[in-house]
Chains A and B, each alone.
Chain A
C-alpha cells in the first residue's frame, strides 16, 4: 500500500494535467433576470469559457477580462446567481459555485481558517492572516466579510483569533474529497486570456 500512496500525488497531478474537455457553451439558461447588463456580460464570458482548457475561471478574473469597472457588490450578485443556477454550466455542477465565487485572498483566508478548525486550533489572528495572505488588514476584513455574506463562515468569538468559523463540515474537510473550493491556480498561455483551473 505504501507504493500506491507514493504514486498518488504524481498520478493525481497527471490526472489533473491530462484532464481535458471539449468547450461547453451552455448559454441557454444564462440570460435570466436579476443581473445588471454589466454583470450579465461577465456571466456570458464565464459561461462561454468555462470548460475550455480545463478553465474554472472565477468571477473576479472574468470581471477583469471583460474590463468594465466592477465592485465587490457585482461579484457578490454574480456569486449568488451562480450558486442558485447550477444549470448554467456543467463546470458549476462538477465543482460547485465556491471555486468561481472567491478571490485568491478569500480562498487563502478560508484555507487558513478551515485548517485551524480542522486541527482544533484557535483561528489565526488578523496579523497572522495578513502576513500569510499577503494583504493589509483592510483587505482582509473585506475578505472575511465576503466569506460571511456568502455563508461560508460565520462570526464566532470562541474560535479565537479573527473570530470566525466555517459554516459547514464540508468546508472544514473540503480537501479530503478532492474538492477545489479553496484552490487557486491561475495560468495564462501566451496570446490567450488568463484562466483559473483546478
Chain B
C-alpha cells in the first residue's frame, strides 16, 4: 500500500501508518455516487464485527469537494458512517493503482500490501470481501 498522509473529515491528519498491523479495507468513494452510498452500511457492519480482531475500514472521499461539502452531503443523505473518512486526491488514487470507477475498494493485509482490488458494486462483493477479510485475519 502506498504511504499517504491525508486530511480527515474532522480536520486531523490521517496517515497510512495508522493502519499498520491491521487488515484494512480502503474504499474510494464520492458523495454523489449512489452505489458508493449503498455500500456504506456494509462497511459499517464489517467494521463493527471485525474491528476487535484487527480490521478497520477507511473511506477515501474523492471528487466531492471540501470537507464542509462532504459533511453537508453526508448529513443531507442522513448517512451514518462509523469508520474514519479522509479527503483523497488523484495522486493517492494513482498510487493505489488507479481508480477507474466508483466505488473502488482495496483490501490491504496486515503487512500493508494490497491484497485485492474490487471495482464497482456487485451482488457477491460483500460476501467475497468478508471471506477475504477472514482469510487475511487468520494469517499472522
Flag if A5 contacts B119 (CB, 8 Å): yes
A177→B120 CA distance, assembly (Å): 14
**Interface residue tally on B, bucketed by range:** 20 to 34
Q: Can you list 29 residue pairs at the A/B interface with Cβ under 8 Å?
A: A3-B122, A4-B117, A4-B118, A10-B120, A11-B101, A11-B119, A11-B120, A11-B121, A14-B121, A15-B34, A15-B102, A15-B103, A19-B33, A22-B76, A90-B66, A90-B69, A93-B69, A94-B30, A94-B64, A94-B65, A170-B90, A173-B94, A176-B93, A177-B62, A177-B98, A178-B62, A178-B99, A178-B100, A178-B101
B residues with a Cβ closer than 8 A to A are 30, 32-36, 62-66, 69, 73, 76, 90, 93-94, 98-103, 116-122, 125
A173→B35 CA distance, assembly (Å): 25
Chain A, range 1-37, C-beta contacts under 8 Å to B: 1, 3-5, 7-12, 14-15, 18-22
A residues with a Cβ closer than 8 A to B are 1, 3-5, 7-12, 14-15, 18-22, 54, 90, 93-95, 170, 173, 176-179
Chain B min CB distance to A87 (Å) = 9
Chain A min CB distance to B63 (Å) = 5
A19→B63 CA distance, assembly (Å): 13
Flag if A176 contacts B119 (CB, 8 Å): no
Instruction: Please give, as numbers and ranges, the residues of chain B lying within 8 Å of A173 by CB-CB distance.
Output: 94
Known: A95-B63, A177-B90, A178-B101. A21 touches B32 (CB 8 A): yes
A5→B99 CA distance, assembly (Å): 12
Select one of B33, B98, B122 contacting A7, CB under 8 A.
B122
The 9 closest A-B pairs by CB, nearest first: A11-B120, A18-B34, A93-B65, A12-B101, A177-B90, A19-B32, A8-B119, A15-B33, A90-B69
Known: A8-B100, A176-B100. A19 touches B119 (CB 8 A): no
Flag if A176 contacts B94 (CB, 8 Å): yes
Flag if A177 contacts B119 (CB, 8 Å): no
A187→B131 CA distance, assembly (Å): 43
A4→B73 CA distance, assembly (Å): 28
Select one of A9, A12, A18, A94 contacting B63, CB under 8 A.
A94
